[in-house]
Amino acid sequence: MTDTKRIKTALISVFHKEGLDEIISKLHAEGVSFLSTGGTRKFIESLGFPCQAVEDLTTYPSILGGRVKTLHPKVFGGILCRRENEQDQKQIAQYEIPEIDLVIVDLYPFEDTVASDASEQDIIEKIDIGGISLIRAAAKNFRDVVIVASKAQYGSLMNMLRNQGANSTLADRKWFAKEAFAVSSWYDSAIFNYFDDGESSAFRCTYNQKMSLRYGENPHQQGCFFGDFNAMFTQIHGKEISYNNLLDISAAVDLINEFDEATFAILKHNNACGIASRSTLMQAWVDALACDPVSAYGGVLIANDTIDKDIAEEVNKIFFEVIIAPKYTDEAVDVLCQKKNRIILIRKDVEMPKMQVRSALNGLLFQEKDLDIETSSDLKQVSKRTPTAQEVEDMLFANKLVKNSKSNSIVLAKNKQLCASGVGQTSRVDALKQAIEKAKTFGFDLQGAVMASDAFFPFPDCVEIAKEAGVTAVIQPGGSVRDDQTFQYCDAHGMSMVTTGIRHFKH
């Protein structure tokens, strides 16, 4: 039994015909005969090549409005027959079934049809039956048949034809079969998710795009990203992205999405170490850096407005790994590209997923993303003292930060600038003490500052410590059995407190 198989007959039935002409011309030059249906047969003939209609082989026309074209033993027998199996060979001879050695087929654009808000009837008609059956049959019989299940594999097929003529090795056929089953599993997942309609009765998710990463969480670990990174960003400069870069980029995007005013943020290990909202992006950068210029070293920078030359020259004064913005001026790019490894990303306007998935134990955790953004109308005043308009602005600002910081988390802010935060602590008191100490280190006056907590205060101790540091207003979810004690402390010491009723834990 030889490993190499000669392609003599090709069945071609595709929705996407771009790039197919070169393949057909090469196959014809190699003496391959064609078998096809409807529009694809007309396309092949328009190139000047003979093509047998599937209807002539099966003696059945396309029926049921095109739902049944290729579903016939004379088609599937030719694909599934084992060339080295004596009984199979006797049967295809008995029933005059021609062997089919190459199948080029793709699938109706189901996902695109769903995305277009088409009617249910139009969507159902885009559930491919014949195509998916041809793919599975040809892939199953990979020892004898080459299957090309998507235009994404046209290039690989053409390379094989150029290098080997109309001959395929077992390794070739097995690779194409693997790619074919990737296509079929993705397609079936899309159909299931349409019918599941958000009920999450089972988890089915596939990504066709794989991006290599510089390394995993540590250099001795390998890592990759499955998803369409290029749909979200254009990388215009810099080295290959790492696993940690990607996590920081994701956290940066989640954070900046909270803000409409010109805002600049600096992140380290998924947490903001500097952020400010200002009337100009330049001032936002200056004040974001002032929050913690030490932690900013090697960080990820993100802005929600255009970075010009002046901003780029200021940013260029520090070392950082990644910068993200919706737009850069040409002069800004020239400045930022002075460091060859610096990753520069243009963020595109793409809708983000509304669900989160992460691995845990021997399975996956699945949840809705925390997309709540509290406004002033969501705040419930629980103290006698009414917060000032500036304190309300600052509390809403701080609440956005604490929502995007690792729990347990406390944020201290003033004039829409991060003064300091305590993140990832096992004790909320420790988180607050960490924040106060850091604020003092970088010269922040906390008199008149606000405090935000990602969860309720089980005791009044945090509020007592914050009062001593100068904090005058507090925002928290509320919900502790000792809330009254905390509220009473605020009233006794002239502090304002509001609750949101929404906890923002982040692990």
Question: Where in the sequence numbering do the catalytic residues fall?
Answer: 140, 269
Q: Going by DSSP bridges, is the β-strand pair 9-13/102-105 parallel, antiparallel, or unpaired?
A: parallel
Cβ of 476: how many Cβ atoms within 10 Å? 28
Among candidate residues 157, 48, 162, 58, the one with its CA nearest the CA of residue 101: 157
3-state secondary structure at position 12: strand
User: For residues 325 and 285, what is the distance between their CA atoms, to the nearest angstrom?
Assistant: 13
Q: Which residues contact 410 (CB under 8 A, 6 or more apart)?
A: 402, 421, 422, 428, 431, 432, 434, 435, 451, 452, 453, 454, 462
Q: Going by DSSP bridges, is the β-strand pair 52-53/5-6 parallel, antiparallel, or unpaired?
A: unpaired
3-state secondary structure at position 55: helix
Alpha carbon separation from 49 to 12, 21, 58, 149 (Å, rounded): 13, 11, 21, 22
Q: Are the beta carbons of 276 and 269 closer than 8 angstroms?
A: no
User: For residues 382 and 73, what is the distance between their CA atoms, to the nearest angstrom?
Assistant: 76
Question: In the beta sheet, which residues pair with residue 139?
Answer: none
User: For residues 141 and 95, what is the distance between their CA atoms, to the nearest angstrom?
Assistant: 20
Q: Which residues contact 211 (CB under 8 A, 6 or more apart)?
A: 224, 225, 226, 227, 229, 241
